[in-house]
Structure 1
Amino acid sequence: MRYVKLGRSGTTVSAIGLGCLSFGDPARGAHSWTLREDDSKALIRRALELGINLFDTANVYSAGDSERILGVALREFARREEVVIATKVHGQMAPGPNGWGLSRKHILWQVEESLRRLGTDYIDLYQIHRWDSSTPLEETLAALDQLVRDGKVRYVGASTTFAWQFAKALGLQRQNGWSPFVTMQDHYNLVYREEEREMYPLCLEEGIGVLAYCPLARGRLARPWHEESRRRGHDSLADAMYGAHEETDRLISDALGAVADAHGVSRARVALAWVLGHPVVTAPLVGVTSLAHLDDDVAALDLELTAEDQALLSEHYVPHGVAGF
């Protein structure tokens, strides 16, 4: 495993993080393909054995069950100080207008719920999951700062915002002496590169660590473009995210297959090595449902792509509409 700093913070994380969307009761939340507790714990244990210490979840994943399972597994297999737990706040967790968002009321309530489910006294990285235009930004940032000052959160991060929104938030944090965002978690992979336009130059300038989600395009880059999988048959969000540029995305997928064959490795390993090669990316967050896939993903750290590989993988990309918000 390779380790890197989490943005400009002093905390060190593995260069690949485990995304925990795959964990939870299939009857809860929005994903019928999630793994129940025993299978989830086996993957978390293997991640720890491989040197992964960054685990990313969210309160909305499987309606809180992902946080619960992650907490149970980490208490069983690791010491708390060895791991970096990241979770998120924003989504609908209760009926009614106060059951979601980034108001002080919602944040202070949901951090307690996440702490309870995770079974820990503090969260290492607490992230706003989406932007909330219905709440004054100052209210949100002040509430996050309070959590850091109270010791319930070590660092704060953001996910899935426009660059101008993120820049505004960073400016307000600096102006008011509030705890700054140290990370941006955003959508980035071979078939979705829109973050390179504005967000990544901003993150590079500000020293923000990037946690790339969907580095395999929700599994589409792990196999030939139109090959079916259990998850793909039940993942309507993936169709919405990757259905608009099928022709050019398929060409990228074909190029990925050619590079993988040339190196004698899997498509997933090449796709992850490409994401890891971006200088602003701290760690891609991999979501897996098998031990073999997890081992293969970590092996991407040892794959060196040539300039010719990079050119082949990039030549068919065209601008995409914004996806993932």
Structure 2
Amino acid sequence: MERRQVGASGLRVSALGLGTMTWGRDTDAVDAAAILRSFVEAGGTLVDTAASYGDGDAERVLGEQLAGTVPREELVLCTKGGVRHGPAGPRRDASRGSLLADLDASLVRLGVDHVDLFLVACPDTTTPLEETVSALRLAVTSGRARYVGLSNFPAWASARAATLLEAGDGIGLAALETEYSLLQRGVEREVVPAAEALGLGVLAWSPLGRGMLTGKYRRSVPVGSRATSDHLAGFVGQYLEDRDAAAVAEAVVTAADGLGRAPLEVALAWLLARPTVASAVVGARTPEQLKGTLDAVDLVLPSEVHAALDDVSAVVPGYPERW
């Protein structure tokens, strides 16, 4: 599998990343071990997790695998902090105390002394960005993280954070993790141009449009799919009722039929050809799902197919992006 540089940093990751949001809840330890083993055997290195996934269970399951299934040095570990769970549900907390506490707890659950990439999971409007950035700087200078970045942040905040972090000792941001797929191209208005200008690598989560771009939701909702899950139905439902999303998904199926490939392979190939994308993070719940995803790494779309998918999924820029 191709290794890609994350922006202008020295960090290199596999073109496909392995997401673990379902580990410890929908994916048990046995399947997790099989998934991780197959991923590494295919050349995968980037494994993406978070302190909030399964309230820490995803990291615990991953830590068990690092203790026996796959040597830690073969992986690029990425985790995220800044989401607190309480009686009222999850809340954003990107304060220095919260971020560093999350990182410390993640290291314990993973059974490692550092992660390769630590991300702030989402913006927190109640904490000054300067404080959030100070936590990222300390994560690196203390040796707990080798690189740092942001997830789900708008372009202006990403640019401001990059400026603040670099102004100290040149540590700098390495990555922006954001939802990006043929069904979610809004990041191309400002986030992607900002990443390119700042030398940041983009890690794309949900590159298959929360499952829509696999083609499995064309006629009905399959039993056992995420759309039938109590805790993931809302995650997928956003696109199920969207006619524009359905049209894009249908175009992907048509392209796949013409190429003799699977729809998910076409969707991933389109994304991996986008500028600034360092890795597409796929969340396979089963070993079988991962196998289908891994088949996509050798596909290069013909230019006319790529252009057609560009057209059918295009985001119309407005003010002030186009003036």
- Aligned residue number for residue 237 of structure 1: 234
In the other structure, the counterpart of 1:70 is 62
Larger CA deviation: 129-138 vs 219-228: 219-228
Alignment correspondent of 2:78? 86
Quote the Cα distance in structure 2 between the aligned partners of 1:202 and 1:259.
Answer: 31
Counterpart in the other structure of 1:28? none
Matched, 1:4 2:1: no
2:203 corresponding residue in structure 1: 211
Displacement of 1:139 in angstroms is 1.1
Segments of 4+ in structure 1 off by > 6 A?
96-99
TM-score (norm 2): 0.91
The aligned residue for residue 321 of structure 2 is: none
Of the structure 1 ranges 290-299 and 280-289, higher mean CA displacement relative to structure 2 is found in: 290-299
Distance 1:140 1:97, change over 3 A: farther
In structure 2, the residue matched to 1:228 is: 221
1:132 equivalent in alignment to 2:132: no
Superposed, which structure 2 residues align to 1:278-317 within 5 Å? 278-317=274-313
C-alpha distance in structure 2 between counterparts of 1:139 and 1:98, whole Å: 21
**Pair 97,184 (structure 1): closer, same or farther in 2 beyond 3 Å:** same
Contact 1:145–1:178 (Cα < 8 Å) also in 2:
no
How far off is 1:237 after superposition? 2.8
Contact 2:83 2:90 in 1 (8 A): no
Q: 1:99 to 1:206 in 2, by over 3 A?
A: closer
Query: What is the TM-score with the length of structure 1 in the denominator?
Result: 0.90
Q: Which sits farther off after the overlay, 284-293 or 62-71?
A: 284-293
1:157-183 Cα deviation digits (max 9, x unpaired)? 110011111111111112233632100
2:149 partner SS: strand
Letter in 2 for 1:12: R
Query: Separation in 1 of the partners of 2:245 and 2:87?
Result: 39
The Cα offsets for residues 231-269 of structure 1, whole Å up to 9 and x where unpaired, read as 11122333553256x222111111111111111111111
Instruction: Report the Cα distance in structure 2 between the residues aligned to 1:262 and 1:69, rounded to whole angstroms.
Output: 40
Q: 1:97 to 1:240 in 2, by over 3 A?
A: closer
The count of aligned residue pairs is 312
Two-structure CA RMSD over aligned residues (Å): 2.1
CA shift for structure 1 position 272: 0.5
Whichever residue aligns with residue 205 of structure 1, its letter is A
Identify unmatched segments of 5+ residues in structure 2. 318-323
Contact 1:141 1:178 in 2 (8 A): no
Task: Give CA deviations for 1:279-315 in whole Å, capped at 9, x if unaligned.
Answer: 2100000011222321221221211111221232233
Q: Please tell me whether the aligned partners of residues 20 and 49 of structure 2 are also in contact (alpha carbons under 8 angstroms).
A: yes
Partner secondary structure for residue 92 of structure 1: strand
SS in 1 for 2:313: coil
Distance (whole Å) between structure 1 residues aligned to residue 262 and residue 176 of structure 2: 28
Q: CA deviation at 1:216?
A: 0.5
Structure 1 counterpart of 2:264, one-letter code: A
Q: Which residue type is aligned with residue 47 of structure 1?
A: F
Q: Are residue 276 (structure 1) and residue 268 (structure 2) matched?
A: no
Separation in structure 2 between the aligned mates of residue 160 and residue 94 of structure 1, nearest angstrom: 21
Report how far residue 98 of structure 1 moved: 11
Aligned residues: percent identity?
35
Q: Distance in 1 between matches of 2:213 and 2:113?
A: 38
Where 1:218 maps in the other structure, the secondary structure is: helix
Q: How does 1:19-98 map to 2 (within 5 A)?
A: 19-25=19-25, 34-94=26-86
The equivalent residue for 1:18 is 18
- The structural deviation recorded for 1:12 is 2.0
Partner of 1:30: none
State the alpha-carbon separation in 2 of the partners of residues 79 and 248 from structure 1. Answer: 44
What is the CA distance between 1:56 and its match in structure 2?
A: 0.2
Q: 2:107 aligns with which of 105, 115, 133?
A: 115
Distance 1:320 1:149 in 2: 42
Structure 1 pair 95/179, CA: closer, same or farther in 2 (3 Å)? farther
Q: CA-to-partner distance for each residue in 1:43-98, whole Å, 9 max, x for gaps? A: 11111111111100001111100001111112212222221100000112455899
- Partner Cα distance (1:239, 1:125) in 2: 27
Q: Runs of 5+ in structure 1 lacking a partner?
A: 26-33
